[in-house]
């Protein structure tokens, strides 16, 4: 199996095939998850001081904070897995 890296901004990448979930940081349980990960030393902050817009929960328990939205991450994963979308500018044609 190969490692599929996704760009998270500011020259940072994450192995998206090792992610369990990509969630929004707005809920109380998400904020609690961040605090628990900080306490255990499992937080990886790749926001470069910007506001956290997405949380990636990894298989090994690490929590990655990103400054791009979960929708943007999903779009990048989709585009990397479907090369024909890149040729169309990232949009699927409707029939």
Per-residue pLDDT reduced to its tens digit, 15-39 = 999 999 999 999 999 999 999 999 9
Q: How many domains does the chain have?
A: 1
Residue 24 resides in a domain: yes
pLDDT on residue 95: 38
Q: Which two tokens stand for residue 19?
A: 């992610």
Domain that holds residue 78: 5-86
Structure tokens at 55: 């949380």
In-domain check, residue 39: yes
Q: At CA 70, angle to CA 65 and CA 75, rounded to 5?
A: 130
Mean pLDDT for the stretch of residues 56-64: 98
Would you say residue 28 lies in a domain?
yes
Q: What are phi and psi of 37, to 5 degrees?
A: -65, -40
pLDDT > 70 fraction of the chain, expressed in percent and rounded: 86
Helix (H) or strand (E) holding 48: none
Distance CA(4)–CA(25), nearest Å, equals 24
pTM: 0.84
For the residues 71-81, what does the mean pLDDT come to?
Answer: 93
**67 is a domain residue:** yes
């Amino acid at each position: 199996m190969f490692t599929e890296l996704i760009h998270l901004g500011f020259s940072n990448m994450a192995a998206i095939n090792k992610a369990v979930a990509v969630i929004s940081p707005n809920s109380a349980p998400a904020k609690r998850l961040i605090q628990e990960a900080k306490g255990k030393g499992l937080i990886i902050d790749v926001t470069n001081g910007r506001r956290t817009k997405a949380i990636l929960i990894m298989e090994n328990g690490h929590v990655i904070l990103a400054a791009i939205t979960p929708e943007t991450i999903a779009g990048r994963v989709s585009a990397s897995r479907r090369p024909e979308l890149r040729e169309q500018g990232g949009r699927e044609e409707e029939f």
